[in-house]
Amino acid sequence: MSLQMIFIKMGEGFGKTCAIFFLTLLFSLPLGMIISFMRMSKNTVVSKITQFVVSVLRGTPLMLQLLAVTYGPYYLFNISVSRNKLIPVVIAFSVNYAAYFSEIYRGGIESISVGQYEAAAILGYSKVQTFIRIILPQVIRRILPSVTNEIVTLVKDTSIAFTVSYQEMFTIGKQIANSQTSFTPFLVAGVFYYVFNAIVGLVMGKIEKSMSYYKQ
């Protein structure tokens, strides 16, 4: 198979790689915020349970979680494995990344001084107004570098979807590599990921720069 052909075949899978990437971000970023609020809840039962769940999600391989989400329903409830693997992939990825994001959010929120909350309280801001207008913008600014790190990892982690044979770029590359006994598809995959992450780095750098108009 020519190099050009390999690029074309894998390029077709790249759309699915992007689907995993963008859908995971779409769901995990807000879900992470909900989890971090539950983790910081004054209700210790909620907070402790959340802490435990997050530690499991962070302390076990994403691959294992993906297998559990994809095949667990079959073994547990005899529900047939869904044909469209994108659904379990996005669920597993979103929940896993939300766990990581929740800890980043929590660190950011807890790093804001009480003085900011007190100044807002004296001026009469409601709790929601305080969070949205005063706290959140400062938190985003602070956590952006850590979030960028996670996003870069996510780009590479999309390849884990090969464990459930979801036909994304890496899965296709692996199939070509097997059938042609060639290493070239893996090199091509490396190029795809590298370029993808270069773009991620560029975009995140722009966003970080646009927020660095004040010293923190």
Partner 1 sequence: MNVLEMTNIKKSFGDNNVLKGISFHVDSGEVVSIIGTSGGGKSTLLRCATLLETVDDGIISYMGENVTYKDGNGKLCYAKDLNRFKKVFGLVFQSFNLFPHFSVLKNVMDAPVTVLNRNKAEVKEECLELLEKMGLSDKVDAYPCELSGGQQQRVSIVRALAMKPDILFFDEPTSALDPELTGEVLKVIKQLAEEKMTMVIVTHEMAFARAVSDRVVFIDKGMIAEQGTPEEVFGNTRNERTKQFLQNYGK
Task: Give the Å distances, CA to CA, from 58 to 61, 99, 136, 173, 204.
Answer: 8, 7, 24, 28, 24
142 neighbors 104 (Cβ within 8 angstroms): no
Looking at residues 134 to 173 of the shown chain, list those that interact with partner 1 (rule: CB under 8 A).
Answer: 134, 137-138, 141
Q: How many residues bind partner 1 (CB under 8 A)?
A: 20
Give the integer Cα–Cα distance in Å for 18 and 186. 18
CB of 99 to partner 1, least distance (A): 28
Which stretch, 5-13, 75-83, 108-116, 177-185, contacts partner 1 (CB under 8 A)? 108-116
121 neighbors 53 (Cβ within 8 angstroms): no
Which stretch, 11-19, 39-47, 66-74, 120-128, contacts partner 1 (CB under 8 A)? 120-128
Q: Which of 4, 124, 183, 209 is in the footprint of partner 1 by CB under 8 A?
A: 124
CA–CA–CA angle 52, 55, 56 (5° rounding): 90
125 is an interface residue for partner 1 by CB under 8 A:
yes
Output 76 or 128, the one with its CB closest to partner 1: 128
Q: Which two tokens stand for residue 203?
A: 């975009």
CB of 153 to partner 1, least distance (A): 28
